[in-house]
Chains A and B, each alone.
Chain A
Amino acid sequence: MKTIGLTATALSVIALSASAAAAREQVQIAGSSTVLPYSTIVAEAFGENMDFPTPVVESGGSSSGLQRFCEGVGENTIDIANASRKIRDSEIEACAANGVTDIMEVQFGYDGIVFANAASGPDFAYTPADWFNALAAQVVVDGEVVANPNKNWNEVNAELPEQEILAFIPGTKHGTREVFEEKVLLAGCEESGAMEAFVASGMSEDDAEAACMAVRTDGVSVDIDGDYTETLARIESSPNGIGVFGLSFYENNQDKLKVGTMSGVTPSTETIASGEYPVSRPLQFYVKKAHIGVIPGLQEFVTFFVSDQIAGPNGPLSEYGLVADPELAATQEAVASGTTMQ
């Protein structure tokens, strides 16, 4: 009897305080693990400088963030979704189906993708074509389309060191993989003329493009579904491996990693901002306009995020490895006027 009484009391206490704690006080953010560090840095600075509570930031990946973003409007849905890729049309439709119609897209900078091996290893100078010839499932040898026979980097390009090919690339659930496929494999495919050879061998344009981005499955290329810390651990255990990292991760682990150049350009915030370094992608977050004015501090947080002193070239974000967006002023204007996506 006593136990039942206790439970009843507990339930009633919970029910009572549930009604008391109805209004959410802090901004809720979820999404891309690439955007997460930037988001937490801004959230922390926002919390200590403003009279609003520090926003809560969750990770989980661009797709899962956008999925939760599109669940609906209301206090128990998130306000902002971080994404390392653009929102897809299917996601906009899913959003609209749940009543999330006015979405603000805020692009705040660029992130570089770098290729690094163990600090004790040799120096690498790649081109996208090297990566294509090393990792593609099918390559062109003497005009013939064959299954990739390359085992060593110097077979791909005589100027590269004699080291077995072993690459740790992001798994397909990562936004980074998409960028790697498009900006490295596909670019390398076109650059090396393999694309033309694929089409000449009777493939349609689309099939040829898919063949360009198909990664070999004989164990030379390893998909990493975890995050960059896992890639780093893999490289530490197999020193011949080469990993794909975000620029900021590399900058924090320079004592363990050595970065390779791409088409002769060393990745850095400067070379990415100038567009010389080819492998980069925009970072953005999506804001539910319906929540602005309802969730305290949401508008202020977004404005704070894109302000010059935070996202600008001398702000803490670029200190951490973000490549500042040269069109930040336009973004600030769009945020101030509350421009939504069409």
Chain B
Amino acid sequence: MTDLPLSQPGAARTDKAGSLLAQDARIKSRNAAEKRFRTYGATAIGIAVLALVVLLVTIIGNGAGAFRQSYLTLPVTLDAELIDPEGNRDPTEMSQILTLSYGRVLDQAVQDAISAQNIQIEGLVEDDIRGLISREASSQVRNRVLEDPELVGQTVEFNVLAGGRIDGYFKNRVTMESAERDGNTSPAQLMLADALKERGMLVTRFNWNFLTNPDASDQRPEAAGVGVAILGSLYMMLVVLVLAVPIGVAASIYLEEFAPKNRLTDIIEVNISNLAAVPSIVFGILGLAAFINFAGLPQSAPIVGGLVLTLMTLPTIIISTRAALKAVPPSIRDAALGVGASKMQSVFHHVLPLAMPGILTGTIIGLAQALGETAPLLLIGMVAFVTEYPDPLPQGLFDPASALPVQVYNWTQRSDPAFFERASGAIIILLIFLLCMNLLAIYLRRKFERRW
């Protein structure tokens, strides 16, 4: 419509603005203002995109290494004197021998490999040989021997994790220069690692264990993984899904469709909006008081985490569900009531199905928010070092577990720089989960959306 006068350039104009084709000062300034606004908008988006790119590049740059890990394959002679001093191959007696003794077995295995492969490196000391293999390996060898005591005295080939510093060397985190200054490694140790790599005994390959392993202590960053954290997050999300969705949807349907509009419902409405803005740590304090101290639920358990996150997610779900219900045109309700449907039939048969895509989107966004939450978990004991996998459901809900964002938080506080890489790796996994959830939300919305 607006371009109509322009399509008739010959039309006479009575005001003194002159020709339509020649822009006067005011039009020019309006056009310039629009141009400026577009530039501001584009700049704002540009800054946001740049920030995102920088964030992603740093995280992926720092964290990609967590998905690759160096492994060492070497024959280990299971010296009976060290691991079965009684000599009777009795598993109960052998279990008295701690992993510390198995460390010595592995040190000997590295020594043997060095002489067998004819590697000569100057200045190689005992500490260098010990640091070559992860401490996790002694536990691996011990478990294998306890499973099959007949192995004692034999030479068995083991595939074990390389030490954190060695692994860092092949990921360029540790260099010869930094090794000079570092008391935990030495150039000689790195040269030994190089020599083993040349002979094919040491390989760096994709690290599935990062996804499945539990957390590990400060001394073995190379063994740490997010297995328990993923499981813990999953359990919590299940609790949130099972509790928050039905309660939230029921509450919003009642408030939106059935509740009388009076002062009480107004107060409830304002309070729900307020709750949505309450800092999440407050829900943690509430959870500690209500679920742990009063209800006596166990600490560090996904059930408590799930309940706290449910409280936190409920307002989000209620608000988005109400918005989705509001967006269904009143004509649908009127038509249903007009052909004789009851109020409840009109809601459940007609309004709810049409509001479904909005409800689903709101729910998934609420869940994604809950997945990334750390603060409330701090107070209910989930920010913890947990290495035991929780049991299968439903008992697992009461076992201690960690959560993905908690794992990130924990790892950034550890002193060994290798944990920094792990933390970034865990962030990548968390981002992938969030991306999948948001894609699912978009897909569901597209699939079920109806336009009027």
Contacts and interface: CB of A to CB of B under 8 A. Distances in A.
Interface of A: 3-4, 6-7, 10, 13-14, 17-18, 20-21, 24, 26, 28, 30, 33, 36-37, 39-41, 43-45, 47-49, 51, 53-54, 56-60, 71, 74-76, 78, 119, 227-229, 248-249, 251-255, 309, 315-316, 319-320
Contacts of A48: 99, 139, 142-143
Contacts of B179: 255
Contact of A40 (B218, B242, B296, B381): B218
B67 interface: no
A43 B387 CA distance: 9
A308 to B, nearest CB: 11
Contact of A24 (B242, B245, B298, B397): B298
A53 B144 CA distance: 19
B298 A75 contact: yes
Nearest to B238: A10
Contacts of B218: 37, 40-41, 252, 320
Contacts of A254: 181-184
Contacts of A249: 415
Contact of A18 (B95, B297, B410): B297
B388 interface: yes
Given A17-B395, A40-B217, A28 B381 contact: yes
Given A54-B387, A119-B181, A26 B400 contact: yes
A17 B142 contact: no
Interface in B404-421: 410, 412-417
Given A4-B250, A252-B184, 16 more contacts: A6-B242, A17-B394, A21-B298, A30-B381, A37-B414, A41-B218, A49-B98, A49-B99, A53-B388, A56-B385, A56-B400, A58-B381, A76-B292, A229-B412, A254-B182, A309-B98
The prevalent SS among residues of A at the interface is helix
A8 to B, nearest CB: 9
Interface residues of B, number: 56
Nearest to B416: A252
A78 to B, nearest CB: 7
B38 to A, nearest CB: 37
Contact of A255 (B182, B247, B386): B182
Contacts of A252: 184, 218, 415-417
21 contacts: A3-B250, A4-B250, A6-B242, A7-B246, A33-B413, A37-B218, A44-B220, A45-B100, A48-B99, A54-B386, A57-B385, A58-B381, A76-B292, A76-B296, A229-B414, A229-B415, A252-B218, A253-B417, A254-B182, A316-B100, A319-B219
A253 B181 CA distance: 9
Contacts of A53: 388
Contacts of B414: 37, 229
Contact of B303 (A3, A14, A119): A14
Contacts of A58: 300, 381, 383-385
Contacts of B191: none
A229 B413 contact: yes
Contacts of A57: 384-385
A86 B435 CA distance: 47
A138 B71 CA distance: 57
A68 B382 CA distance: 14
B444 to A, nearest CB: 18
A78 B299 contact: yes
A56 B100 CA distance: 22
Given A26-B400, A49-B98, A75-B298, A21 B381 contact: no
A13 B99 CA distance: 41
Contacts of A44: 216-217, 220, 387
B181 A37 contact: no
Contacts of A20: 395
A244 to B, nearest CB: 14
B413 A59 contact: yes
A31 to B, nearest CB: 12
Nearest to A9: B242
Given A58-B381, A252-B417, A320-B218, A21 B398 contact: yes
B98 to A, nearest CB: 5
A53 B293 CA distance: 24
Contact of B135 (A4, A251, A316): A316
Nearest to A53: B388
A228 B399 CA distance: 31
B300 A28 contact: yes
Contacts of B135: 316
